[in-house]
Structure 1
């Protein structure tokens, strides 16, 4: 097993849709997610518009030509609705977006056979290194213990809870400050 991580733009990432769907399906079928085929299709309907967003970038992990992991996102727009899904009150300053302030990390997944080998850490590092944004924001399930531990070790802090779409489970909203003087472990 030899892993490489490549930083890709939207068009390149879109070409990997079939392999990325397989990663998503394998990673999120397990508890606490329990995602099935309909969830995969819903995620990839969003994916097709996400790859066309300004500033989209992806860090894709490969074993040879096989995709074993993915991390991707794009800068949040000034009129993002992401903050509207919060169930906790947060200061207006935290919610302020201008189209440049926050990079939204929308997916990070690793195939089960490649977990605990550093793939997620490497993809995250490649994805966030060189970002112009001041922070990265993500949603994660609180019961996803391994993901939570990784995010905390990389320097993320929980800022509240959200229900990101109708019928979704509660998620923790986490932010990584990219402007702090102390470099987070990534």
Structure 2
């Protein structure tokens, strides 16, 4: 029973996240193996090659939720989008230049947020989200979510995100909803 277990959420930068990579990988592989993602080990490998590169960014931020015994429960990570980000280029319908303008500070890109099944619906995702964004000076947060991941989509909407388009975030990917949260 997970209801009586104390969960801690720790915010961290890139070096600490690199040291905790196995915890991030465990959560990621378990959560994204589920429908609608159905990712395989090779998909997780590719994600964690990118993760290692992303953690080298000075602006990288992460949050890791664990039980009091140290068992990984949930993850979140991202970083501000650079001026040359390709994120906006993946939308199926173009957005205005004003919407897509990035300068390395304007938009925080939320790359992943995931909670393992036994700890869902206990506020862990919200705590991860809040910890990750604590002190972020961006004007907004951008993310992609699979539309069939109904619980995640509903949580994002409840937290104030709005859909601004649809995208295929990588070649061969299902269509994802692109969601934006105004922070200022």
Q: TM-score range by the shorter chain?
A: over 0.9
3-state secondary structure, aligned to 2:103:
coil
Q: Does 1:25 align with 2:37?
A: no
- Contact conserved, 2:11 with 2:64, CA < 8 A, in 1? yes
Q: Does 1:160 align with 2:165?
A: yes
CA distance in 1, matches of 2:56, 2:148: 31
CA distance in 1, matches of 2:118, 2:11: 22
1:122 to 117, 122, 127: 127
Off by >4 Å, runs of 4+ in structure 1: none
> Structure 1: which 5+ runs fail to align?
180-186
Equivalent residue number for residue 183 of structure 1: none
CA distance in 2, matches of 1:47, 1:66: 20
- Contact conserved, 2:11 with 2:61, CA < 8 A, in 1? yes
Number of residues of Structure 1 aligned to a counterpart in Structure 2: 179
CA distance in 2, matches of 1:131, 1:18: 25
CA distance in 2, matches of 1:128, 1:69: 15
Q: How big is the alpha-carbon RMSD for the aligned residues of Structure 1 and Structure 2?
A: 0.8
Equivalent residue number for residue 8 of structure 2: 4
Q: Tell me the alpha carbon deviations over residues 64-101 of structure 1, each in whole angstroms, 9 at most, x when there is no partner.
A: 22221000000000111111111112111100001110
> Structure 2: which 5+ runs fail to align?
none
Normalising by structure 1, what TM-score?
A: 0.94
Equivalent residue number for residue 141 of structure 1: 146
